Structure 1
Amino acid sequence: MSVWEALIMGLVQGLTEFLPVSSSGHLVIFGEILNLQIEDGNAFSVLLHVATFLSVCFIYYKDIIELIKEFFLMIGDIFRGKGDWNRPYRRMLIMLIIATVPAVVVGLIFKVFGIDAMLSNLLVVGLMLLVTAVLMYFVDHCNTNRYDASNATYKSSLAVGLAQACALMPGLSRSGSTITAARAAGYKKEFAIKFSFLMSLPAILGAAVLEGAGLVMDGGFAIDALPLVVGFIAAAVSGILAIKFLINLLNKNRFYVFSIYCSIVGLICIIFSIIR
Structure 2
Amino acid sequence: MDASALLSALLMGVVEGLTEFLPISSTGHLILLGELIGFEGPPGKVFEISIQLGAILAVIVVFRQTLIDLVLKAWRPGPERFYAVNILLAFLPAAVIGATLHGPITRALFNPYVVCTALIVGGVAIIAIERWRPAPSIRSVPEIGPLAAVLVGFGQALAMIPGTSRSGATIIAALLVGAERRVAAEFSFILAIPTMLAATVFSLFKARHDLDLSGVAQIGVGFAAAFVVALVVVRWLMRVISRIGFTPFGWYRIALGSVMLLVLALR
TM-score by length of 2: 0.90
- Name which of 242, 245, 248 aligns with 2:236: 245
Establish whether residue 179 from structure 1 lines up as the match of residue 171 from structure 2. yes
User: What letter is aligned with 1:10?
Assistant: G
- Name which of 127, 131, 145 aligns with 2:121: 131
**Take 1:241 and 1:151, find their aligned partners in 2: how far apart are those partners?**
27
Find the counterpart in structure 1 of residue 227 from structure 2: 236
**Take 1:144 and 1:59, find their aligned partners in 2: how far apart are those partners?**
28
Residue range with higher mean Cα deviation, 197-206 or 36-45: 36-45
Find the counterpart in structure 2 of residue 167 from structure 1: 159
**Take 2:12 and 2:93, find their aligned partners in 1: how far apart are those partners?**
28
**Structure 1 residues 27-106: aligned runs within 5 Å:** 27-37=30-40, 40=43, 42-71=45-74, 73-74=75-76, 84=77, 87-106=78-97
Check conservation: 2:26, 2:163, Cα contact below 8 A: yes
How much has 1:69 moved relative to structure 2? 1.6
**Take 1:177 and 1:249, find their aligned partners in 2: how far apart are those partners?**
19
Check conservation: 2:181, 2:245, Cα contact below 8 A: no
**1:47-70 deviations in Å (ceiling 9; x for gaps):** 011111101101100111111123
Residue range with higher mean Cα deviation, 61-70 or 29-38: 29-38
- Name which of 185, 198, 207 aligns with 1:193: 185
How much has 1:143 moved relative to structure 2? 5.9
TM-score by length of 1: 0.88
What runs of 5+ residues in structure 2 fail to find an aligned partner? Answer: none
Find the counterpart in structure 1 of residue 251 from structure 2: 260
**Take 1:7 and 1:14, find their aligned partners in 2: how far apart are those partners?**
11
Total equivalences in the alignment = 262
**1:9-67 deviations in Å (ceiling 9; x for gaps):** 00011111011110010111011112234764722011011111101101100111111
Find the counterpart in structure 1 of residue 135 from structure 2: 144
Structure 2 vs 1, CA of residues 108 and 22 (structure 1 numbering), >3 Å: closer, same or farther? Answer: same
What runs of 5+ residues in structure 1 fail to find an aligned partner? Answer: 75-83
Check conservation: 1:88, 1:149, Cα contact below 8 A: no
The CA RMSD over aligned residues, in Å, is: 2.0
**Take 1:34 and 1:11, find their aligned partners in 2: how far apart are those partners?**
14
Find the counterpart in structure 2 of residue 227 from structure 1: 218
